[in-house]
Amino acid sequence: MVDNPLITLTTDFGYDSPYVAAMKGVVLSFNPNARLIDLSHAIPPQDVRHAALLLSGAVLYFPEGTLHVIVIDPGVGSARAMLYIEIGGQRLLAPDNGVWTSLADDCEPTRVIQLREPKYWRSVVSRTFHGRDILAPVAGHLSLGLDPTALGPGVTEWVRLPVPRPKREQNRVTGQVVFVDHFGNLISNIPGEALHPTVRVLIAGQEALLVPSYSAAPSGTLVAVVSSWGTLEVAITQGNAAKHLNSGVDCPVVVEMVH
Amino acid sequence: MVDNPLITLTTDFGYDSPYVAAMKGVVLSFNPNARLIDLSHAIPPQDVRHAALLLSGAVLYFPEGTLHVIVIDPGVGSARAMLYIEIGGQRLLAPDNGVWTSLADDCEPTRVIQLREPKYWRSVVSRTFHGRDILAPVAGHLSLGLDPTALGPGVTEWVRLPVPRPKREQNRVTGQVVFVDHFGNLISNIPGEALHPTVRVLIAGQEALLVPSYSAAPSGTLVAVVSSWGTLEVAITQGNAAKHLNSGVDCPVVVEMVH
Amino acid sequence: MVDNPLITLTTDFGYDSPYVAAMKGVVLSFNPNARLIDLSHAIPPQDVRHAALLLSGAVLYFPEGTLHVIVIDPGVGSARAMLYIEIGGQRLLAPDNGVWTSLADDCEPTRVIQLREPKYWRSVVSRTFHGRDILAPVAGHLSLGLDPTALGPGVTEWVRLPVPRPKREQNRVTGQVVFVDHFGNLISNIPGEALHPTVRVLIAGQEALLVPSYSAAPSGTLVAVVSSWGTLEVAITQGNAAKHLNSGVDCPVVVEMVH
């Protein structure tokens, strides 16, 4: 147990509603010494895939033992479980909808527990806001040193988010856009190693110029670089590739060997 | 006095301007140990009602003694007073425009003080930014343990935000939408207890299905649930009710006894 | 060295991408006791001028020794340098693109160092995300007490952002809008002292009413006030001047002596 434990928050609640604030209040009412870090509250509503990619680009950078509370929860009020997860040295609280399973490309969880013990929840649990009524108080308790085995039974089955994989053929790899960032850069699921001088990159009927960094091409050029995730990314230098190509998640990206 | 006092910030300053940052700097320059928590900076400009509802869904969850700084201040530079308020165990700093009075449904303030003592303000006070020049330094001083009675005289009169109340007739209750959240859910002022199986809920000429939670109806259904505030809420499952019904704040909501 | 050093973050990464979260994780992985303060992540993409004005309205309010990490970096991956700067008692980390030089109207930097020592960076440095791979770890090290001279050589030359200056003629001053805030208020580069009763203020073919504060004119009036920066600001009371005048950065503002 640390003195001022780190708790991050990731939600689709937006910035104009009271829900994030309510969760912060509840966590702090259980542990006034918790240190809250906002990861994002701008996940598009109910967009579990967007959240999964965002988390995969962020969570593993945190110090070991950081507790991440994730509330993208289209199934709130249903029978879907709520989970405590240990993975890659991090601790997560999330609904059982697969939002965290894309972290597991690099590492398998070392522990997954179903939250079943109501004594660590708010005394009245609503049907519409489990982030406030279950996850926030549980985060408070954990940050005070509660043994996670007190929260409920360990489980070995959980919902896994289907992850599209690139398809390899003789002379080409066909992947897809899996995330569009704030700049309109298109992040694909093709490993960055594919970007060597003997290939060409095709998207939406256009060819992207292979460059080592955005700044290596004039403004307005369609380029392919290695993304922050280590995968192939298509961007327009100083511009917005998603808008320019009218492209988004699931759009095919092709890497072709040049003869 | 605590070692690392909690100070929350709620403003209509947005995220692209320096005003929130300036306030954070001033608070920390008075008390470098203060812990700042963002509640929201996305209150629509000058929208005191939106802020009041947001605060009513958030403030009372915080630990006792938390200091909440609220700057939705269309009257900045006028003769409107600035207040220090103690209510429900919380401490607030806000312009005297009623933004905090919706908290008082559950509890009356135990102390209200007008900020009149300039020695706790910045040495030069602008006419356009009292959040930075008055509230932030006062928050810093209070968080260091200043007795609030030093700030000015106690008062017993203040501006109260008019709160629309549902109208009860023999077989129906007519309320209205009081808040639209980030998902486009329509929060009404009708108590959630009204939702029993013998009623029907009408809004914008349509009937909403009574369900215990969003997930109890297929995607795209107009439903009525109990909101995070404990009131009747109208939502579209996996969708945006405000857009779909072209509805917003003040739109009537009717709960009718079924014969 | 303080126990819980303050580190602020200013980026153009937006709120829906993992980049801010990744930087927070890296800073905290180097120094789990750092206290992170969000200034803004809503700088328009690559808009160095917007960031410069925002910083000039915020940075100098912070306690002495605060470390400000600034990532508006259109040149990422190019040969542009990364800098450590001491100015006005503050410490900054930023790409060498002039984003910080508007702070220097009031004060010159007392030290500028080029970041050249990779041992304080992440072991693998990407070509697209120096905020995560260079600035965040350097911030972590500095916050732990690292002597900044270890980061690289001191320099006396750096990129300066061109700052438009108002032009003074016999009976008039012609300046321009340099920042549009969240309310649509138009902040000019004309010193606030210009606003005395013997002048008139012209913008986009209209005359703005000189008032001491927004609240001194009826709703919907085009007014000129002294901005939070101390300069002339044009606003519409309870409205959005930028939209109403279809005006923005670089739009001329004229202050004319009245005969």
Distance CA A91, CA A225 (A): 32
User: ipTM for the complex?
Assistant: 0.96
Overall average pLDDT of the B17-45 stretch: 97
pLDDT tens per residue across span A127-176: 889 999 999 999 999 999 999 999 999 999 999 999 899 999 989 999 99
Q: If residue B112 lies in a helix (H) or strand (E), which one and from where to where? A: strand B109-114
Search chain C and give the residue with CA nearest B79.
Answer: C215
Nearest residue on chain C to A52, alpha-carbon basis: C18
- Whether residue B7 contacts residue B35, with contact meaning beta carbons closer than 8 Å, is answered with yes
Q: Are B44 and B71 in contact (CB under 8 A)?
A: no
Q: For residue A185, give every residue at least 6 positions away whose Cβ sits within 8 Å of its Cβ, in sequence order, or none.
A: A227, A233, A234, A235, A241, A242
Residues B119-166: tens digit of each pLDDT: 999 999 998 899 999 999 999 999 999 999 999 999 999 999 998 999
Contact C126 A228 (CB under 8 A): yes
Confidence of residue A2 (pLDDT cuts 50, 70, 90): low
CB pairs under 8 A between A and B: 119
Query: What pLDDT shows up at residue A204?
Result: 96
List of chain C residues whose C-beta atoms are within 8 Å of the C-beta of residue A183: 14, 17, 45
Mean pLDDT of C170-186: 96
Q: What backbone torsions phi and psi does residue B97 show, to the nearest 5 degrees?
A: -130, 15
In chain A, beta strands by DSSP E = 6-11, 35-40, 67-71, 82-87, 90-95, 109-114, 167-168, 172-180, 186-191, 199-203, 206-210, 222-226, 231-236, 252-257
With both helix axes pointing from N to C terminus, report the angle between C19-30 and C136-143 in degrees, rounded to the nearest 10: 30
Q: Which residues of A sit within 8 Å Cβ distance of B?
A: 4, 12-22, 24-26, 28-29, 32-33, 35-36, 38, 45-46, 74-78, 80, 126-129, 132
How confident is the model over C25-40, as a mean pLDDT? 97
Low-confidence winner among A30-34, B43-47, C8-12, C192-196 (lowest mean pLDDT)? C192-196
Q: Is the pLDDT score of B89 beyond 80? A: yes
User: What percent of chain B has a predicted confidence (pLDDT) above 70?
Assistant: 98
Longest dimension (CA), chain A: 67
> How many residue pairs bridge chain B and chain C with CB atoms within 8 Å of each other?
118
Q: Calculate Rg over the CA atoms of chain C.
A: 20
Return the pLDDT at A75.
Answer: 85
How far, in Å, CA of C233 to CA of B99, rounded?
Answer: 27
Which residue from A minimizes the CA distance to B90? A25
pLDDT band at C79; cut points 50, 70, 90: confident
Mean pLDDT on C177-195: 96
Cβ distance B255 to B193 under 8 Å?
A: no
Distance between CA atoms of residues C36 and A8, nearest Å: 12
- pLDDT of residue A106 exceeding 70, the answer is no
Q: How far is C119 from chain B (nearest CA, A)?
A: 31
What pLDDT score was predicted for residue A79?
Answer: 84
Instruction: For residue B67, report the phi and psi dihedrals to the nearest 5 degrees.
Output: -105, 125
Residues of A in contact with B16 (CB under 8 A): none
In chain A, the percentage of residues whose pLDDT exceeds 70 is: 98
d(CA B90, CA C19): 35
Residue C163's pLDDT band (boundaries 50, 70, 90)?
A: confident
What DSSP character marks residue B37? E
**Predicted TM-score of the model (pTM):** 0.96
Confidence of residue C117 (pLDDT cuts 50, 70, 90): very high
Per-residue pLDDT at C106 exceeds 90 = no
Contact partners for chain C, using 3 or more CB pairs closer than 8 A, are A, B
Pair type for strands C67-71 and C172-180? unpaired
The secondary structure element, H or E, covering residue B84 is strand B82-87
CB contacts, 8 Å: C213 with chain B: 76-78, 127-128
- The chain-wide mean pLDDT, for chain C, equals 95
Q: % helix / strand / coil in chain B, to the nearest 5?
A: 25, 30, 45
Query: If DSSP codes are grouped into helix, strand and coil, which group holds residue A17?
Result: coil
Residues of C in contact with B46 (CB under 8 A): 238
Q: A67: which 2 tokens?
A: 């507790």
CB A14 within 8 A of CB A41: yes
Residue of B15, B36, B135, B143 to mutate, interface with C, max C Cβ within 10 Å: B15
Answer whether residue C105 shows pLDDT above 60: yes
Tell me the average pLDDT across B28-57.
97
Q: Average of pLDDT values for B197-221?
A: 94
What is the pLDDT, as a whole number, of residue A196? 87
Nearest to A77 among B15, B62, B212 (CB): B212
Mean predicted lDDT score pLDDT of chain B: 95
Residue B72 · residue B48 · CB < 8 Å:
yes
CA distance A8 to A242: 29
The answer on pLDDT for A201 being more than 60 is: yes
CA nearest C63 in B: which residue? B29
pLDDT for B90 beyond 90: yes
pLDDT recorded at residue B197: 87
Q: Which two tokens stand for residue C218?
A: 């009826």
3-state secondary structure chain C: CCCCCEEEEEECCCCCCCHHHHHHHHHHHHCCCCEEEEEECCCCCCCHHHHHHHHHCCHHHCCCCCEEEEECCCCCCCCCCEEEEEECCEEEEEECCCCCHHHHHCCCEEEEEECCCHHHCCCCCCCCCHHHHHHHHHHHHHHCCCCHHHHCCECCCCCCCCCCCCEECCCEEEEEEEEECCCCCEEEEEEHHHCCCCEEEEECCEEEEECCCHHHCCCCCEEEEECCCCEEEEEECCCCHHHHHCCCCCCEEEEEECC
Judge whether residue B1 has pLDDT over 50: no
Q: Which pLDDT score is estimated for B4? A: 86
Cβ contact (<8 Å) for B225 and A46? no
**Closest B-chain CA to C35:** B35
Instruction: Give burial (CB, 10 Å; 0-12/13-18/19+) of C34.
Output: buried
pLDDT of residue B151: 98
Q: How far is CA C52 from CA A221, C70, C188, in A?
A: 26, 10, 14
Instruction: List the single residue in B37, B59, B216 with the smallest CB-CB distance to A77.
Output: B216
| Per-position DSSP letters for A242-259, written without gaps between them | HHHHT--TT-EEEEEE--
- C-interface mutation test, from A215, A232, A236, most C Cβ less than 10 A away: A215
Residues of chain C with pLDDT > 90, as a percent, come to 87
Give residue C2's pLDDT band: very low, low, confident or very high (50, 70, 90).
low
Non-local (6+) Cβ contacts of A128 within 8 A are: A76, A77, B213, B214, B225, B226, B227, B228, B233
A21:B60 CB<8 A: no
Mean pLDDT of B208-230: 94
